[in-house]
């Protein structure tokens, strides 16, 4: 894997900066302000995306703020320029989902992913702007999806990984009815400055326990565990070098104002005296294809690529990880050419160790 690809596999769109919740661990800097994406921004992005989608599978991920806070009419106007081949996904806190939104998802064949951290008592960080628990409102939205038979994914943030939690979480999500689950250990990034360092043994035990819970009843696609097992299988088959893509996916995030940030959506909306606003261009001024063709020349991206090469030469987990996320390096280390972060320890190194710990604990006596 070398350099940044010029054609992404998906783009992230920010229809509004606003979120109707105020979660304690949120990284978004402008979530109290309603800055909506004008339709010409979507038209400019669609001009490139429609070409890519005609050549193969391609997704647009609507991510906020809270994307549904943009309103159905405005979101429909932003979707309109995209051709029928484009797959649409939305990451939502679910609090605004009702029958009318379910009709909208069905009409636009939009795949829904709900942010929820487990049972009520695990959602203490998910609160309204008035500081009240959001759990009942989240569940109303999930109930609407279930009533209407719309499949959905779930994304859970774990702030304090430790013994016992993984089984509880997995059982909860089995009952919830999601078909895909992603588990993120809380990250120190953006405006969230909470510490994300945890005892290594606790994090490894959390992942090992999650694998065990999943293996008992693997009805849900468990994102992190499936990644790790795919890598472990590739190592056993002697094809570990083929797991990573040949080039980094640029994953362009299009902010509400049309500015394009590659590699890490979490950098959008921030500025730094050394790196400027992290943007590689604006779709209102240049085609997205042109911006991505030149993205590797963005000064911080070059520094990040040096960090990836440092990971490649020093880290035994590189074949699985591919060098970590740009935003975690920036927000934890203050620059892009470092290597280990608390994030990569929690979510790459300990994850793989947890899967191996589970495998060691469950190997047959004859093995």
Cross-sheet strand order for the sheet of 87-92: 221-222, 180-185, 152-158, 110-115, 87-92, 59-62, 10-13, 253-254, 259-261, 281-282
Q: Does 12 bind ligand SF4 (CB under 6 A)?
A: no
Nearest to 281 by CA among 249, 251, 258, 248: 258
65 Cβ neighbours under 8 A, 6+ residues apart = 14, 15, 16, 17, 18, 19, 28, 30, 31
Peptide bond before 65: cis, by omega within 30 degrees of 0?
yes
Residue with tokens 């999806």: 145
Residue number, 188 or 339, with CB nearest to ligand SF4:
339
Q: Does 351 bind ligand SF4 (CB under 6 A)?
A: no
Position among 28, 70, 255, 349 found at the interface with ligand SF4 (CB under 6 A): 349
Q: Does 318 bind ligand SF4 (CB under 6 A)?
A: yes
Residue number, 93 or 341, with CB nearest to ligand SF4:
341
Instruction: Give the Cα separation of 191 and 24 in Å (integer).
Output: 10
Q: Does 338 bind ligand SF4 (CB under 6 A)?
A: no
Instruction: Give the Cα separation of 21 and 127 in Å (integer).
Output: 6
Structure tokens at 307: 């960090």
Q: How far is the CB of 156 from ligand SF4 (least distance, A)?
A: 22
Residue number, 153 or 188, with CB nearest to ligand SF4:
188
Q: Does 324 bind ligand SF4 (CB under 6 A)?
A: yes
Position among 66, 266, 340, 353 found at the interface with ligand SF4 (CB under 6 A): 340
- Secondary element (H or E) of residue 222: strand 221-222
**Contact 359/232 with Cβ under 8 angstroms?**
yes
Q: How far is the CB of 332 from ligand SF4 (least distance, A)?
A: 11
Q: Does 288 bind ligand SF4 (CB under 6 A)?
A: no
Q: Using CB under 6 A, which of the segments 160-168, 197-205, 206-214, 309-317 binds ligand SF4?
A: 309-317
Instruction: Give the Cα separation of 353 and 201 in Å (integer).
Output: 10
Structure tokens at 30: 């402008």
Q: How far is the CB of 311 from ligand SF4 (least distance, A)?
A: 3
Backbone angles phi, psi at 276, to 5 degrees: 70, -140
Q: Does 321 bind ligand SF4 (CB under 6 A)?
A: yes
Report how many residues bind ligand SF4 under the rule CB under 6 A: 12
Residue at shortest CB range from ligand SF4: 324
Q: Does 346 bind ligand SF4 (CB under 6 A)?
A: no
Q: Does 311 bind ligand SF4 (CB under 6 A)?
A: yes
Position among 113, 253, 339, 346 found at the interface with ligand SF4 (CB under 6 A): 339
Position among 88, 126, 348, 350 found at the interface with ligand SF4 (CB under 6 A): 348
Residue number, 186 or 332, with CB nearest to ligand SF4:
332
Residue number, 279 or 339, with CB nearest to ligand SF4:
339
**Contact 14/279 with Cβ under 8 angstroms?**
no
Structure tokens at 287: 């085609």
Q: How far is the CB of 263 from ligand SF4 (least distance, A)?
A: 13
Using CB under 6 A as the criterion, which residues of the chain lie in contact with ligand SF4 when the complex forms? 311, 315, 317-318, 321, 323-324, 339-340, 344, 348-349
């Amino acid at each position: 894997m070398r350099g940044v690809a010029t054609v992404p596999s998906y783009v992230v769109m920010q229809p509004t900066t606003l979120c109707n919740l105020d979660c304690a661990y949120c990284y978004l800097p402008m979530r109290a302000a309603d800055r909506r994406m004008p339709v010409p921004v979507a038209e400019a992005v669609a001009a490139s995306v429609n070409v890519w989608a005609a050549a193969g599978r391609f997704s647009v991920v609507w991510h906020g703020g809270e994307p549904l806070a943009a309103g159905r009419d405005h979101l429909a106007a932003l979707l309109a320029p995209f051709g029928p081949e484009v797959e649409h996904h939305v990451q939502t806190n679910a609090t605004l989902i009702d029958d009318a939104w379910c009709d909208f998802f069905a009409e636009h064949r939009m795949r829904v992913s709900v942010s929820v951290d487990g049972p009520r008592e695990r959602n203490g960080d998910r609160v309204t702007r008035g500081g009240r628990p959001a759990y009942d409102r989240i569940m109303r939205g999930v109930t609407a999806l279930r009533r209407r038979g719309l499949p959905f994914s779930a994304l859970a943030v774990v702030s304090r990984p430790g013994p016992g939690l993984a089984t509880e979480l997995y059982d909860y999500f089995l009952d919830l009815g999601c078909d895909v689950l992603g588990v993120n250990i809380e990250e120190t990034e953006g405006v969230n400055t909470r510490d994300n360092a945890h005892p290594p043994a606790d994090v490894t035990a959390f992942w090992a326990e999650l694998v065990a819970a999943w293996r008992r009843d693997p009805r849900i696609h468990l994102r992190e565990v499936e990644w790790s097992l795919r890598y472990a299988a590739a190592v056993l088959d002697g094809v570990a070098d083929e797991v990573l893509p040949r080039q980094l996916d640029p994953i362009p995030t299009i902010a509400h104002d049309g500015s394009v940030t590659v590699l890490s959506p979490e950098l959008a909306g921030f500025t730094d005296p050394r790196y400027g606003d992290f943007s590689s261009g604006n779709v209102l001024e240049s085609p997205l294809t042109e911006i991505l063709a030149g993205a590797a020349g963005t000064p911080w991206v070059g520094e990040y690529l040096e960090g990836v090469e440092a990971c490649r030469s020093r880290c035994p987990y590189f074949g699985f990880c591919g060098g970590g996320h740009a935003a975690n390096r920036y927000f934890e280390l203050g620059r892009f050419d470092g290597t280990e972060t608390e994030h990569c320890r929690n979510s790459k190194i300990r994850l793989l160790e947890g899967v191996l710990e589970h495998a060691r604990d469950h190997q047959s006596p004859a093995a």
